A and B are shown apart, each in its own frame.
Chain A
Amino acid sequence: MKTLPLLVKREYWEHRGGFLWTPVWVTGITLLLTVLGLVTAEVFRSRADVRVGFSLDMLRQDIDAKDWANAGYGLDVVQFVFGALPCIGLFFVLFFYLLGTLYDDRRDRSVLFWKSLPVSDLATVASKALSAMFVAPLIALAVSTLAYLAFLVIVGTWLSLHGLNVLPAIAASHPFRTAWRMLLTIPVDALWALPAIGWLMFWSAWARSKPFLWAVMLPILVVFANWWIGVLGGPHFAGVLDVAKIVGRLLLSVMPGGWMSLDAAGMARDWMPGHGSSGSEGLLAPERLLDVLASANLWIGVAGGLVLLAAAVRLRGRRIEVNV
Chain B
Amino acid sequence: MSAIVQARGLSKSYGTTKALDAVDFEIDAGRIVGLIGPNGAGKTTALKAILGLTDYEGKLEVLGLDPHTQRTRLMEQVCFIADVAVLPRWLRVREAIEFVGGVHPRFSREKCLAFLSHTKIGQGMRVRELSKGMIVQLHLALVMAIDAKLLVLDEPTLGLDILYRKAFYESLLSDYFDEQKTIIVTTHQVEEIEHILTDLMFIRNGKLVLAATMDEVGDRYAEVMVNPDKAEIARALKPLNERQVFGKSIFLFDGVERSRLAELGELHKPSVADLFVATMKGTYA
Q: Which residues of A contact B (CB under 8 A)?
A: 1-3, 6-7, 9-10, 13-14, 105, 108-113, 115-120, 317-318, 320
Tell me which of A3, A10, A112, A120 has the highest count of chain B C-beta atoms within 10 A of its own C-beta. Answer: A112
Q: Let me know if B90 and A117 touch, CB within 8 A.
A: no
A120 to B74, CA, bound (A): 11
Instruction: A36 to B71: give the CA distance in the assembly, Å.
Output: 58
- Which residues B66-108 have CB closer than 8 A to chain A? 71-76, 78-82, 85-92, 95, 98-100, 102-105
Residues on A with beta carbons closer than 8 Å to the beta carbon of B55: 318
Partner of A115, one of B53, B88, B90, B102: B53
Residue among A10, A109, A113, A317 with max Cβ neighbours from chain B (10 Å): A113
Q: Determine the distance from Cα of A113 to Cα of B146 in the docked complex, in whole angstroms.
A: 14
Complex contact B103–A113 (CB within 8 A) = no
Q: Which of A14, A116, A318 contacts B90 (CB 8 A)?
A: A14
Q: A1-B103, A3-B103, A6-B99 are in contact. Are A118 and B76 (CB under 8 A)?
A: yes
Given contacts A2-B102, A3-B103, A6-B102, contact A110 B87 (CB under 8 A): yes
Q: Does B51 contact A (CB under 8 A)?
A: yes
When distances are taken between beta carbons in the complex, the residues of chain B under 8 Å from A108 are 85, 88-89
* Tally of A-B Cβ pairs under 8 angstroms: 74
Interface footprint category on B:
20 to 34
What is the minimal beta-carbon distance from B50 to any residue of chain A, in angstroms?
12
Are B72 and A118 in contact (CB-based, < 8 A)? yes
> Inside 8 A of A1's CB, which chain B residues have their CB?
103, 105
Residue of B nearest to A317 (CB): B71
| Apart from A3-B102, A112-B86: 12 A-B pairs, beta carbons within 8 A | A1-B103, A2-B102, A6-B102, A7-B103, A13-B90, A14-B90, A14-B91, A109-B85, A113-B86, A113-B88, A116-B51, A117-B103
A14: B residues at CB distance < 8 A: 88, 90-91
Report A-chain residues with C-beta under 8 Å of the C-beta of B86.
Answer: 109-113
Known: A109-B86, A110-B88, A118-B104. A320 touches B53 (CB 8 A): yes
- Which of B75, B98, B99 lies in contact with A118, CB distance below 8 A? B75
Chain B positions 10 through 54: 1 when the CB is less than 8 Å from some CB of chain A, otherwise 0: 000000000000000000000000000000000000000001011
Write out the residue numbers on chain A whose beta carbons fall within 8 Å of the beta carbon of B81. 116
Distance in Å: Cβ of A6 to nearest Cβ of chain B: 4
- Chain B positions within 8 Å of A119 at CB level: 72, 75, 103
Q: Please name the residue on chain B nearest to A16 by beta carbon.
A: B90
Residues of B within 8 A of A113 (CB): 82, 86-88, 139
**Distance between Cα atoms of A14 and B87 in the complex (Å):** 13
Among B79, B87, B103, the most chain A Cβ lie within 10 Å of the Cβ of: B103
Q: How far is the CA of A113 from the CA of B99 in the complex (A)?
A: 12
For A13, what are the chain B residues with a Cβ–Cβ distance below 8 Å? 90-92, 95
Is the Cβ of B88 less than 8 Å from the Cβ of A117?
no
**In the bound complex, what is the Cα–Cα distance between A1 and B101 (angstroms)?**
11
> How far, in whole Å, are A2 and B55 apart by their CA atoms in the complex?
29
How far is it, in angstroms, between the C-alpha of A13 and the C-alpha of B81 when the chains are bound?
Answer: 22
Known contacts A116-B51, A318-B55; A10 and B104 CB within 8 A of each other? no
17 A-B contacts (beta carbon < 8 Å): A3-B103, A6-B102, A7-B103, A14-B88, A108-B85, A108-B89, A110-B86, A111-B86, A112-B80, A115-B51, A115-B53, A117-B75, A117-B103, A118-B73, A118-B74, A118-B103, A320-B53
Residues of B within 8 A of A112 (CB): 53, 80, 82, 86
Are B85 and A116 interface neighbours, CB within 8 A? Answer: no
